[in-house]
Structure 1
């Protein structure tokens, strides 16, 4: 059957996309590695046995989780850490190129294992794992299982599936913007976005102060990259390569201007599926053919995704377009989108505690790692790592329902819980229990150039009121 494998490799595979496979496999694995490490470090405090939204309590409450999970019948923090560190080790092995050296079934098994392990985490992660880049990583990880190994040529069908994923990701985001907020249509969205985005980075202040005409050019460029360029991903090379380069350039601009976890990094990696290069054996080796069984599996996966794509395709052209949603329990062929509406004013929830009488002074502020806090503290770079608590604090300030986890968070602070304090940058009481805690709402805006030069502050903030009045242990 060697002749059949060679014929399939010549007709079914492509030698011009070896670099694409190299980047896709290692890039997706690197993001899995980051996601698993993030879960190992943050999940127990947020969702563990004694977390803010304990998984055992969640599983007792729901009829069934939104998808398959290893924790359906048993959860423990030890099992969670075992799953997370196992997934991280698998991701590291692909980054190092080890599974790719074997037959095609080896990287397939490794990627499917990472997909199932991370899906187990996401499906019990509740609000802390309710982001579009979670299902994006799951779908990308599933497709990466069918890229083959160094012993096979790169399957063309799998590359087309990746391009279809990038198309949904970008075109869906473009449509949701145009449908969702007039600021995208009149090109004024970036008058606000750099200041009000969930987690600014060190350059966001400077991007905000760019001339307003340039902000309009940025928005127009974004529309072109998301509403026009994605169609050219399906064109022959070199047109597809140019389209991928335009998407990658746009994503790099977003990396410079904000912290969006691994969304931008994943988009950059996935866009390489359309990058055609001459064969570079030293960088991306590939065999001349592929096993018949592997070709059959790839075709079957292609047919499966084609069938499942009916739902996201219909969603793209719906007036009630869903943003970041799954249409099946396996998190495949999803709908994507981001920032369908732009916040005009920035609100922040500031958490404080005191050791004394709440009617007196002595209130001190808890410091978060990523979200804005003290006006003089420069925003930090965290992406592609995700600070899940900090992201939820942004949604909380917008008025999204969050007291189901926020009240337990305040209780943990009253108990000086070490795991919860470990999620923070600064505990003003150095591990001592405060007598009272409270949450206040502030308006935030960037300083002007003159204010920044005069004070060194990045933010100006004004108190607006209380979200949660002073509470103590046993008072609620």
Structure 2
């Protein structure tokens, strides 16, 4: 039986690059989980996984943790995922039979699915589902000693199309500033977590912001169709995606969203452009492997009904999974852009009685703006989950849910796990007697202000998020 219809050997090197990059982002994701889970999701975390498992069954959130949960087991799952990701990065999957390669790539997908499905608020963003959907399709790409399955390449391009086109549509249907090309007057300053260059991007002249917005529309609403065109058009389209996503990477911190989007563009690149020719002795895929790839393609085709309906419908939603396995999702970002930046600043005090003369000391977080003189850091592709949620809290107190009272309690207790999420604990591990959270309005300094003061931000208090409180005798925070 001839497999010429099934494989695309011209994309052999593109597959290798794609797999290496994906292994890196898997590794980053598992390291993020390992470093932050105890404070956020552990047995004594802000949103404990055991409490979630008691409320939600396996069918609603498939996860290994339904069989057993302990903080030690979670750490073992995350560590295993990190190790397997490193093994994949090292190319071990290319040295084993096809069946073993598929199983090896399935391991991080199963492990990360288990984490995301119990991650609650902390894992509710589009890049989690994007990593899972990408990782699922990557299972079926096969090892380096076989031909590249054409159908899987098309499925990856279909994913990239939905990601880019969905993001473009939600902008045009959403905030008016995308249609009049003025959204980037505000975005670089008000995005969830600015980066080291965001101040400079914000101060670009208005005409450049309008060019940015127009180029974004072209990259997301026009270019994705060329991904399915013959070469070299498909490679050119991939190049546009890579350049625009790289621009987004240096202008802000969006976890591994932009890096993974760049990775998804690689399968569209003609392998000859990468300068690494395929081996002459590529093995024909086993018959059972071809059958699996065809079956997966059929499943994706059926599941595509829901995201396509969402794209074409007037009530388009962003970043939604239509099934518990996070397959064939809908994506999108920044359907609306905030015009003003607010930050929640948490402060503690050690006075026995809080009053007008109390000295309040500010907790400093690793990524979110706090000290006006601190330059916004580069965080992505790493993801600081608590910092990110605090940006949403600044938009509305309803985003605090159950985790904000828990955070207040643990800060008043001097919880060491929570302190591990901080850049600076003003009490050096001691528990404060009082705590409060105030809302500040932030804006970037002008070039003249920056030259004079050295500050990156100007801020002023505008309200209260958490009133001054202390721990009661039963260990719960009470206002004073």
Superposed pair shares fold, TM > 0.5: yes
Distance 1:279 1:248 in 2: 15
Q: Aligned to 1:159, which of 153, 161, 182?
A: 153
- Larger mean CA deviation between 415-424 and 397-406 belongs to 397-406
Q: Aligned to 1:313, which of 298, 302, 308?
A: 308
Distance 1:279 1:185 in 2: 36
Instruction: State the 1:66 CA deviation.
Output: 3.7
Distance 2:22 2:61 in 1: 21
Show structure 1 runs of 4+ deviating over 6 A: none
What aligned pairs does 1:443-462 form with structure 2 within 5 A after superposition?
443-462=441-460
Distance 1:115 1:64 in 2: 17
> Which SS does the other structure have where 1:71 is aligned?
helix
User: Is residue 2:392 matched to residue 1:395?
Assistant: yes
Distance 1:181 1:425 in 2: 35
Q: TM-score, normalised by structure 1?
A: 0.97
Kept in 2: contact 1:376–1:458 (CA 8 A): yes
User: What is the count of residue pairs matched by the alignment?
Assistant: 470
Distance 1:43 1:319 in 2: 38
Q: TM-score, normalised by structure 2?
A: 0.96
Distance 2:202 2:375 in 1: 14
Aligned to 2:428: 430
Kept in 1: contact 2:271–2:277 (CA 8 A): no
Aligned to 2:367: 370
Note closer, same or farther for the CA distance 1:299–1:65 as it changes in structure 2 (3 Å cut).
closer
Aligned to 1:34: 28
Note closer, same or farther for the CA distance 1:326–1:461 as it changes in structure 2 (3 Å cut).
same
Kept in 2: contact 1:102–1:150 (CA 8 A): no
Aligned-CA RMSD value: 1.4
Kept in 2: contact 1:352–1:439 (CA 8 A): yes
> Which SS does the other structure have where 1:234 is aligned?
coil
Instruction: State the 1:61 CA deviation.
Output: 2.4
Aligned to 1:269: 263
Instruction: State the 1:62 CA deviation.
Output: 2.9
> Which SS does the other structure have where 1:440 is aligned?
strand
Instruction: State the 1:89 CA deviation.
Output: 0.7
User: Is residue 2:413 matched to residue 1:415?
Assistant: yes
Distance 2:221 2:254 in 1: 21
Kept in 2: contact 1:351–1:366 (CA 8 A): yes
What aligned pairs does 1:249-398 form with structure 2 within 5 A after superposition?
249-278=243-272, 285=279, 287-356=282-351, 357-359=353-355, 360-398=357-395
CA deviation map 1:242-297 (0-9, x unaligned): 00000100001001100000000000000011101229796765714211111111
What aligned pairs does 1:164-313 form with structure 2 within 5 A after superposition?
164-278=158-272, 285=279, 287-313=282-308
List gaps (5 residues or longer) in structure 2. Answer: none
CA deviation map 1:2-52 (0-9, x unaligned): xx3xx21x2210111012211221111111111011101101110110000
Distance 1:432 1:222 in 2: 48
Instruction: State the 1:374 CA deviation.
Output: 0.5
Distance 1:278 1:446 in 2: 45
Distance 1:105 1:223 in 2: 42
Distance 1:345 1:147 in 2: 45
User: Is residue 2:468 matched to residue 1:470?
Assistant: yes
Distance 1:206 1:275 in 2: 32
